[in-house]
Structure 1
Amino acid sequence: MKFIDQTVIQVIAGNGGNGCINFRREKYIPKGGPDGGDGGDGGSVWLEANSNLNTLIDLRFKKIFKADNGENGLGRNCSGKKGKDIKIYVPIGTKIINHQTREIIGDLINHKQKILIAKGGWHGLGNTRFKSSTNQTPRKRTLGTIGEKRDIQLELRLIADVGTLGMPNVGKSTLVTNISGAKTKIADYPFTTLYPILGSVTTGSNNKFIIADIPGIIQGASEGAGLGIRFLKHLERCKLLLHIIDLTPQNNYNIIDNINLVLNELKKYSIELYDKPRWLVFNKIDLLSRKKIDQIINEIKHTFKIRGKHYLISSKKQIGTKQLCNDIHQYLKKHKKNSVC
């Protein structure tokens, strides 16, 4: 299934039904009085989050959603039928934005959480409503109001506790696959990961956290190079970022330059994302001697003034990954109260 994380749709609520002007006419009852009923309310449009969905592809081709109008009132004090509401199902993590004003309308982050996106019109009143002691034969009614209509932009931001970032082929997908069992594509060419993938990692005592794997970042990503930075938004809800760094970079790339490149593209995209807690994870240690590893790490520490967390792992041979996962769990447990998801 194709991964679609952004689309624009139009939602139209139903109009309210009109009130009715009618007078009771029966044999032997010459002055039956008014009996015009009210109209029915127009149907509303709702959005509801569903955990069984992971893409907005169903909304890519159907762009207009319209609820039913309320029926008009009838004689004998019969009210019109209410218009049927419609419910649009979206993945958990969908943000709703007014397409014209850019106002954020809502954010659906829990299963079955729903939001009213377009309210149906109010019903009109029949002439029965206007009967009084001074007006026994009212010829007045009100019309139903028009339902709300708006264009909304839906943006999916995956909900994960931890997100990975780095250049292509640094081992992000291998790490996520091996620690979570997620079905990610792994190969020795750039951009094997074409869209974000979520994996569930279980540590001791059935403790779990969700990790997100996104496509690699290359120089000029903020200007659209490679796959651009469109998938970085899926890291916005993460509490912790893992910057995966290849200790054996290909094509004569310099490790220092690679780190700077990713950090610069991250900063161009969002200062808030750049300021998130971020651990450096040095991968492919199985391909180098301990002496060479220490030399590289010391150079990086000196260049970037690293004082925070950093790890040495081999995602392919699962060296150091268990300790990394345990530390992630402890970090998330400690910062649970400060969760943004």
Structure 2
Amino acid sequence: MKARITGVATYLPERTLSSSDVERRIEGYAPHRGIVERMTGIRLRHVAREDQQASDLAVEAVRGLAPPGAGADADLMIFASASQDMVEPATAHIVAAKLGLSCPVFDVKNACNSLLNGIQVAEALILSGAHRKVLVCSGETPSRAIRWRVRDRAQFVDSFAGYTLSDSGAAVLVEADPERGIFHRDFSADSAAWAVGTLPGGGSVHPRDPEYSYFQGDGRRLKEAFERIGPDIFLNALKRTGLTWDDFAVVAVHQVAMPYLRFLAEVLDIPEDRLVVSLPDHGNCASATLPLQLALGSWEPGDRVALLGLGGGISMGVMLAEM
């Protein structure tokens, strides 16, 4: 028995902000015009309505699965996202209540690799025989943690990662299949680099101080941390399966900035026609990035796809699947 991805859907809020809009919205410090798009390659990002929560974005994505109601008979639902409605209870319960589901639910959280890890957990539970149809969904609302009132250049640099982020929802169905499905997965972490990028508020360290409710991080140090781990986890996936990137209809890569995407694609020698470049028109959609690229990409049942994940903490993951 294998675990196959049988459905993928995403939800993108209608409201968008251009990089020029972002720069104009910043108060207190005036960044150089054009710096956000020049440094990241991002033209647009999506912003949820004030009355939309992370759970709502996940619900909208689930409702977009085909055929309609495809996830209604899932025997497990996992909410896998960097965002959450509240600290307690698990956001999965709120999503399930809004969808009218009565199956077991729980959350999986690992920054931008949350949904990829959610699929990993779903596969393991299917292979164990505990479940046969798992709905994995995400709702990302990082726009709520962007610092708009900026004191000086140093604080602008520390807050810069937030200006790349985009609100989005995603849903992935994973089902038991006797013939095809996920055939390789591998994950790694360098947890010593956890402090490079954080959203420190809301936990036991800073439970109530609003000053810690914004994204902060050092993009240069984050890039260096990923480079220290190196690309072996991705290249070894090809070696162990005897495949090349040309054997995949889509190679989905988590995308935070175009310069780093180009660097990674060059190091891994990924053909340009296999990449789905979502970043310029959608921004960094956090854990919804990989399913967004599957939704935008061109593939058919039976095709192979590769999912390459990068997340704060920091972590890396690769999953190869026959759809």
- Name the TM-score class by shorter chain: under 0.3
Which of the pair has more CA radius of gyration?
1
TM-score using structure 1 length: 0.26
State the structure with bigger RCO (CA 8 A, min sep 6), 1 or 2.
2
* Structure with greater helix share of residues: 2
TM-score, normalised with respect to structure 2: 0.27
